[in-house]
């Protein structure tokens, strides 16, 4: 089957912002006496800002310590730190293989979509110089449920006018693979530890359009 569209996750697939999210959350967590490590961060991938805060609070046994208003302030402060760290992004921050794959997809006239629950996605694509490479970016402001819910991938398919069954989604998070699978799309996982992906690759450097055309449902 020739896929009708390819839909990308952003953080961890197009560029490596996962570590920047981690550094910002770690600072906020420290200020409220919670120590988080990279292992917890793994569980925050693909999870919205407020859901990430809730998970950190639960991990630290602090679910009851903060009012809704205080949680808003913590999440906003995390975002300020994160946005500050995004200033280091530039076109060289695009992960290996991604620019070449986007060029191959354009050459083959395959629509390209973005399915990121990050409210900073437009700003990040802009910093990477990739805004015009995406035919449709699902708007995270309109999404009610983070991954593993398929909502954002379904929104990207609808925006491109394609059927999920005929599309490929690329993800680096376990919650993201679950979201792609639940949408009915074929899933490509970046990371050999990811479970249930139709194809798993060690890194984005292995991605290519010929390879994506060989993906079959597991
Ligand atoms: C992506 C990342 C998550 C992050 C979420 C929201 O899904 O993988 O780690 O929490 O976006 O990002 P935002 O930029 O809106 O805080
Ligand atoms: Mg990701």
Token pair recorded at residue 191: 């990371």
pLDDT at 192: 96
What pLDDT, in 10s, does the model give residues 158-212? 999 999 999 999 999 999 999 999 999 999 999 999 999 999 999 999 999 999 9
Q: How confident is the model at residue 38 (pLDDT cuts 50, 70, 90)?
A: confident
Catalytic residue among 11, 37, 139, 198: 11
Domain ranges of the chain: 5-16+91-212, 18-88
Q: Is the CB of residue 117 below 6 angstroms from any atom belonging to ligand 1?
A: yes
Q: Is 9 in the active site?
A: yes
The C-alpha atoms of residue 145 and residue 64 are separated, in whole angstroms, by 22
Contact 157, 186 (CB under 8 A): no
pLDDT at 162: 98
What pLDDT, in 10s, does the model give residues 122-135? 999 999 999 999 99
Distance from residue 79's CA to the centre of ligand 1 (Å) = 10
What pLDDT, in 10s, does the model give residues 60-91? 999 999 999 999 999 999 999 999 999 999 99
Contact 183, 150 (CB under 8 A): yes
Q: Is the CB of residue 24 below 6 angstroms from any atom belonging to ligand 1?
A: no
Distance from residue 157's CA to the centre of ligand 1 (Å) = 20
The ligand with the least distance to the CA atom of 15 is: 2
Distance from residue 117's CA to the centre of ligand 1 (Å) = 6
Give the mean pLDDT of the chain: 97
Residue 190's SS3 state is: strand
Q: Is the CB of residue 47 below 6 angstroms from any atom belonging to ligand 1?
A: yes
pLDDT at 1: 75
177-183, Cβ contacts within 8 angstroms, sequence gap of 24 or more: 178/147, 178/148, 179/46, 179/115, 179/147, 179/148, 179/149, 179/150, 179/151, 179/152, 179/153, 180/150, 180/153, 182/148, 182/149, 182/150, 183/150, 183/153, 183/154, 183/157
Q: Is 0.75 topped by the overall pTM?
A: yes
Token pair recorded at residue 209: 């359009």
Radius of gyration of the chain (CA): 17
Query: Can you tell me the mean pLDDT for 86-106?
Result: 98
Cis bond leading into 148, ω under 30°?
Answer: yes
Q: Which atom of ligand 1 is closest in space to residue 52's alpha carbon?
A: 10
Query: Can you tell me the mean pLDDT for 27-54?
Result: 94
Residue range 5-16+91-212 in CATH 3.40.50.1460: no
Q: Is the CB of residue 146 below 6 angstroms from any atom belonging to ligand 1?
A: no
Q: Percentage of the chain with pLDDT > 90?
A: 95
The answer to whether 5-16+91-212 and 18-88 have equal CATH topology is: no
**Alpha carbon nearest to ligand 1 atom 11, residue:** 118
Contacts of 211 (CB under 8 A, 6+ apart): 199
Ion ligand 2, residues whose Cβ is below 5 A away: 9, 11-12, 172-173
Name the CATH superfamily housing domain 18-88.
Putative phosphatase; domain 2 (1.10.150.240)
């Amino acid at each position: 089957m020739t896929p009708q569209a390819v839909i990308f996750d952003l953080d961890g697939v197009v560029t490596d912002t996962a570590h920047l999210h981690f550094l910002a959350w770690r600072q906020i967590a420290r200020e409220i006496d919670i120590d988080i490590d990279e292992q917890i961060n793994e569980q925050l991938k693909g999870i919205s800002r407020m859901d990430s805060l809730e998970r950190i609070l639960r991990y630290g046994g602090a679910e009851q310590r903060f009012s809704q208003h205080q949680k808003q302030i913590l999440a906003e402060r995390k975002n300020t730190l994160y946005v500050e760290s995004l200033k280091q992004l530039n076109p060289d921050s695009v992960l290996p293989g991604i620019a070449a794959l986007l060029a191959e997809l354009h050459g083959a006239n395959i629509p390209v979509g973005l399915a990121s629950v990050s409210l900073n996605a437009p700003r990040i694509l802009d910093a990477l110089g990739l805004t015009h490479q995406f035919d449709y970016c699902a708007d995270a402001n309109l999404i009610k449920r983070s991954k593993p819910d398929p909502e954002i991938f379904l929104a990207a398919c609808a925006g491109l006018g394609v059927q999920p069954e005929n599309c490929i989604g690329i993800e680096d998070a376990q919650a993201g693979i679950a979201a792609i699978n639940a949408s009915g799309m074929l899933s490509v996982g970046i990371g050999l530890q990811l479970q249930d992906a139709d194809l798993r690759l060690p890194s984005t450097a292995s991605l290519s359009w010929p390879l994506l055309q060989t993906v079959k449902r597991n």
